[in-house]
Amino acid sequence: MKALKETFLPNYRYQDYIHWEGDWELIGGIAYAMSPAPTIEHQEINSKIVYQLMSKLKDCKNCKVLPKVDWKIDEETVVRPDTLVVCNLSGKKEYLDKTPELIFEVLSPSTKNKDRNLKSLLYATNGVKYYVLVEPAGKFAEVYKLENGKYYLEGEFKEQSYTFEIDTCKIEFSFKEIFEGI
């Protein structure tokens, strides 16, 4: 596979990425278009995720909720999760360069395979403690927790809550709230 990449595929870097128009992610030097734009349902669910996380973390001095921010993992990898929580962030930068504790991805038909496979592996390799895949079509979410470098399914949630333990904070997250009215 490495020979294939070196021979036939372009290899982009962060300096290329910052000049592109539109929404892109860069994984291992390969460009991935993030189009078409997310549906209204996708955006509504993500907004509810952001609101709930911000409400739950309002008293936490260490953790921040960031929707749609570039996470620069290295010179060849920049991703933009739907929503993430990062703790103990220092300094002001144009992008995030610290591993998030928690990432939510709201699945879209065009990116579902990448989110389930490539990004799951990427996030596990980089130490993201919790990875949550939200499926709007079925109105459920899968919560994965990192243990020994691999993700293990904690459960599938529709109306239940799950407690995320990050840094010094505990987040009792209600999945029912993100699907209500959808």
Indicate yes or no: pTM above 0.75.
yes
Question: How far apart, in whole angstroms, are the C-alpha atoms of residue 76 and residue 28?
Answer: 5
pLDDT tens string 92-119: 888 999 999 999 999 998 889 999 999 9
Q: How confident is the model at residue 2 (pLDDT cuts 50, 70, 90)?
A: low
Position 90 scores a pLDDT of 84
**Long-range contacts of residues 172-180, Cβ cutoff 8 Å, at least 24 apart:** 172/56, 173/52, 173/53, 173/56, 174/52, 175/140, 175/141, 177/48, 177/52, 178/45, 178/48, 178/49, 178/52, 178/134, 178/141, 179/45, 179/139
Q: Which two tokens stand for residue 138?
A: 């079925």
Q: End-to-end CA distance of the chain, in Å?
A: 42
Position 181 scores a pLDDT of 85
Q: Who's near 86: CB < 8 A, 6+ residues apart? A: 63, 64, 66, 96, 98, 99, 100, 101
Q: Does the pLDDT value for residue 3 go beyond 80?
A: no
Count of CB atoms situated within 10 Å of the CB of 60: 17
Position 34 scores a pLDDT of 84
pLDDT tens string 5-62: 556 778 999 999 999 998 899 999 999 988 777 888 999 999 999 999 999 999 988 9
Residue 117 backbone class (left: φ over 0; alpha: ψ -120 to 50; beta: rest): alpha
Position 1 scores a pLDDT of 45
